[in-house]
Amino acid sequence: MKKFYLLILALCIFGIAQNNFAQANCADNEINLAEVKIEIKRDGSSTGCIGCAAEYSASIDGNGIVNYEGYSGVRLTGKHTFSISVEQIKDLISDFKKINFFALEDKYIDKKLPNGITESVSHAIKTTTALTVGNKTKSVFNFYGAPKELDELQEKIHGIIIKLQQND
């Protein structure tokens, strides 16, 4: 009987984690793009190579307006405004949903290995990604050790930002 209760508890916890995104008003048919904001900030100061890593912050609203500020290691420094398509916004929102972004840890600064050892590094790009949907915001700081899916999402957003700079 004890195993049965543990199984029920595990299923409930799994269900809660899976529903975090739905609770943030992100069900596919409920997305109100006017309530969406995606933010990214990259800081390469800890890489040991000044000006080598792209350092910038950008916010993307649900209408595709990108407010960008480049600091160093980028083609464009200063403040600039770009736009991306609504389809790109929907695609990014889908990616946030796929990785269950609202259920991720708030920060990743080292990697927990299967053998229980914690692995860390001292030189990496610090990336903070945030998603706001309605009145719910989740921000994740990634230095090292994040799930591969988060790394891929951050690289996808970074790729969009870099491409916008090249087209300016």
Domains of the chain in start order, with CATH, are: 2-167 (3.30.1560.10)
137's enclosing H/E stretch is strand 136-142
pLDDT the model gives residue 46: 66
* CA neighbor of 64 nearest in space, from 42, 43, 37, 104: 37
pLDDT the model gives residue 50: 64
| 8 three-state secondary structure | helix
This prediction has a pTM of 0.80
pLDDT the model gives residue 121: 83
User: How many C-beta neighbours within 10 Å does residue 49 have?
Assistant: 11
Mean pLDDT, consecutive 10-residue stretches, the chain (168 aa), reads 41 44 51 94 76 88 96 92 96 97 96 88 89 96 95 96 84
Q: How is residue 62 written in tokens?
A: 């649900």
pLDDT the model gives residue 25: 45
* CA neighbor of 94 nearest in space, from 142, 160, 41, 31: 31
pLDDT the model gives residue 120: 83
